[in-house]
Amino acid sequence: MTYDRYGSDVLSSDWKAPRRGRSTPVEAQPGLVVEDAQTGWCGAVVRVEKAGGMQVVHLEDRRGRLKAFPLGPGFLVDGKPVELTPPTATQRSALDAARAATQRTASGSVAVQGARARVASGSRIFVEGRHDAELVEKVWGDDLRIEGVVVEMLDGVDDLAAVIRDFAPDRSRRLGVLVDHLVPGTKEARIVEEAHRSAGSEHVLIVGHPYVDVWQSVRPERLGWSQWPVIPRGTSWKHGILAELGWPHADQADVAQGWKRILSTVRTYADLEPSLLGRVEELIDFVTAPQE
């Protein structure tokens, strides 16, 4: 039996595409560097698993990107055609260990295997609304559960000073607040300044990002743009953004659905702007700092 990746048309064949009879069987060992003959993708074996009724091998290139290929013939090692075979039980254990050692959370932190969420601490992080909370949960949720920190919604910051007084922060109950559109001269800047004067507490940290809405903290490339469009004054910003995307934007239900679609494009911290990343990391460090 012979293997022909391209069929019987000789003009569609690739000289590098090996046939079963000419390929040397090689176990897909962790760390083995191979090249896919058809695409030229070169990477190290990180794991082998079943997917869609077949076995696939995941290769990680030098930039840390992963790509899956069908296990079998069609690979090169040192320029020679090989057929990747399933790893032995020993090699499978090594693959599992390597996978666990390199697994990371969406925020880029090393994942803690088998850890349970801690009982919530007294400290809190407050964000303005649901969309802010959902974005923080998607990227930093694993980290926050390990630390036992709860994120709560404010539904706006107009009464921020009263919220801080009601929370009554102290060294065992620290409070971090993330504010949208916190730039000089804005209403938000005045509210935060007043809150600082009223609170007067070293156990409160208020930070913000410069975006009109947390939607803008998603890198525009994730939506096919080079930059976020400017929405004319007098037009609802979120409705205007959805219109630019060509998505439904008639009512609040459309806005909610549009945000879900935007949020689905966020895979890890790398899909967010640094102006938001730094502020959220700062808040997490503040509310989880050891008590003096």
Residue boundaries of the structural domains of the chain = 10-102, 124-218+266-288
Query: What tens digit of pLDDT does each residue of 31-60 get?
Result: 888 998 888 888 888 888 886 667 888 888
What pLDDT was estimated at residue 253? Answer: 96
Residue 226's contacts (CB-CB under 8 Å, 6 or more residues apart) are 220
According to CATH, what is the number of the domain 124-218+266-288? 3.40.50
pLDDT number for residue 29: 87
Q: How far is CA 224 from CA 170, 177, 196, 218, 227, in A?
A: 45, 31, 39, 12, 9
Nearest Cα to Cα of residue 151 among 114, 189, 177: 177
What letter does residue 75 receive in the DSSP assignment?
A: E
**Which H helix or E strand runs over 95?**
helix 89-102
The one-letter code for the residue type at 249 is H
User: Is it the case that residue 126 has pLDDT exceeding 80?
Assistant: yes
Per-residue pLDDT tens over the stretch 69-92? 889 999 998 888 999 998 876 555
Number of DSSP helices (H) and strands (E) in the chain, helices first: 7, 11
AA letter at 139:
V
Q: Which of residues 159 and 13 earns the better pLDDT score?
A: 159
CA–CA dist 147, 42 (Å, integer): 38
Write phi, then psi, for 137 (nearest 5 degrees). -65, -40
Residues in the chain: 292
Strand partners, 16: none
Q: Quick: pLDDT tens for 179-224.
A: 999 999 999 999 999 998 887 788 999 999 999 999 999 999 999 9
What is the average pLDDT across 261-267?
A: 93
Band (pLDDT 50/70/90 cuts) for residue 111 is low
pLDDT at 161: 93
pLDDT at 78: 80
Stretch (H or E) spanning 98 = helix 89-102
Q: Residue 155: its pLDDT value, please? A: 84
pLDDT of 175 reads 96
Whole-number pLDDT of residue 7 = 35
Query: Considering the chain, what is the average pLDDT of its residues?
Result: 83
Give the pLDDT of residue 14. Answer: 46
CA distances from 19 to 2, 7, 69, 84, 162 (A): 6, 11, 16, 13, 73
Whole-angstrom distance, CA of residue 171 vs CA of residue 201: 10
* Ramachandran assignment for 173, one of left (phi > 0), alpha (psi -120 to 50 degrees), beta (any other): beta
Pick 214 or 94 by higher pLDDT. 214
**How far apart are alpha carbons 249 and 258 in whole angstroms?**
8
Least confident of 102-116, 193-207, 237-251: 102-116
Instruction: Please report the pLDDT score of residue 197 as a whole number.
Output: 87
Question: What pLDDT is attached to residue 50?
Answer: 80
Tell me the pLDDT band of 173, cut-offs 50, 70 and 90.
very high
Alpha-carbon torsion (217, 220, 226, 232), positive or negative: negative
Distances (CA, A) of 82 to 33, 71, 73, 75, 182: 12, 11, 6, 5, 57
What is the model's pLDDT at position 5? 35
What percent of the chain is modeled with pLDDT above 90?
52
pLDDT for 227 beyond 90: yes
Q: Does the structure show a pLDDT above 50 at 285? A: yes
pTM: 0.63
Quote the pLDDT of residue 9.
39
> What's 156's DSSP letter?
-
